[in-house]
């Protein structure tokens, strides 16, 4: 399985996971009175989603190699 095939297969999970995480983070920021957009912290969220995507790709491609 290629990286593109893996990402296509896991796209729904990645999108729903990122969206639910953003809803939780946004709710916590709203409840504490902080600004909803915090560029430095939001870059960390994007890096986290990218790391999960890389994990899925590595897991899928490694599983097919055996």
How far apart are the C-alpha atoms of 51 and 41, rounded to whole Å? 16
DSSP at 66: -
Give the pTM: 0.72
The full set of domain ranges for the chain reads: 3-65
pLDDT (tens place) for every residue of the chain, 66 residues total: 788 888 888 899 889 988 998 899 999 999 999 998 998 888 988 898 899 999 999 988 886 554
At 41 the pLDDT is: 85
Gyration radius (Cα) of the chain, Å: 15
At 5 the pLDDT is: 87
Q: Which long-range contacts (CB under 8 A, 24 or more apart) does 9-12 make?
A: 9/60, 10/53, 10/56, 10/60
């Amino acid at each position: 399985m290629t990286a593109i095939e893996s990402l296509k297969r896991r796209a729904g999970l990645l999108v729903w996971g990122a969206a639910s995480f953003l809803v939780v983070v946004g709710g916590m920021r709203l409840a504490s009175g902080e600004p909803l957009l915090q560029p430095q912290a939001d870059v960390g969220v994007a890096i986290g989603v990218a790391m999960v995507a890389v994990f899925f790709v590595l897991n899928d491609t490694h599983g097919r190699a055996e």
